[in-house]
Amino acid sequence: MEPEVSDLNKPVMTAKIERPIYLSGATVFLRDLNAEDVSQDYVNWMNDPEVMKCTESRFVTHDLDSIKNFVRLHERSENSVLLGIFSQDNRLHLGNIKLGPIQWQHGLGDIGLIVGRKSFWGRGIASEAIPLLCDYAFSSLKLHKLTANCYASNKGSAKAFLKAGFDQEGMRLLHVKGESGWEDVLEFGRINQQGIGNINQ
């Protein structure tokens, strides 16, 4: 049998996503979202043009049912993790961070996040949440590499990923249509320096 065909028949090794997930930081903690977490405040973020202006979700109108369905899809997913970002002080839901889709065969996962409560913008919420998820992805799921991207105008997200140890690996020129016209998309990556990529296990 040809090697490339034989390789296709090998089982894809995956680390089981053990739930519940709880990741604690200094000022925030991350935990699994469930349908009961979907509040009107959450819906309002998703329909706020200022919050959504650098996301593809700005093209969709959201309601309680659509967001609950989105959350339910991730509750038992084997290829993604959706976590809420909550304040340590008062357990207030501040935003979400997602790992996925996970390509287990490559040990690769993509990160996306949103801080929905605008009163918490500029407080370093993303800069704290991203490393917490990275540590989980590398230590618990044994992923080899994490990726992320953001609109070039989203300077806060770009800064947070760089601060979390990501490198800017590329730029897609004039890739999306933003508020002021066509703009670039920045691409980031961070490799597991412990060298324990899932692909070889």
CATH number of domain containing 124: 3.40.630.30
Q: Which residues pair with 113 in a beta bridge?
A: 97
Q: Which residues pair with 181 in a beta bridge?
A: 178
The model carries a pTM of 0.88
Question: Does 50 map to a domain?
Answer: yes
* Owner of token pair 């990741």: 23
Q: How many domains does the chain have?
A: 1
Question: Does 76 map to a domain?
Answer: yes
Q: Which domain holds residue 77?
A: 17-147
Q: Per residue in 126-175, pLDDT tens?
A: 999 999 999 999 999 999 999 999 999 999 999 999 999 999 999 999 99
Question: Does 125 map to a domain?
Answer: yes
Question: Does 98 map to a domain?
Answer: yes
Question: Does 171 map to a domain?
Answer: no
Question: Does 186 map to a domain?
Answer: no
Question: Does 142 map to a domain?
Answer: yes
Q: Per residue in 74-120, pLDDT tens?
A: 998 999 999 999 999 999 999 999 999 999 999 999 999 999 999 99
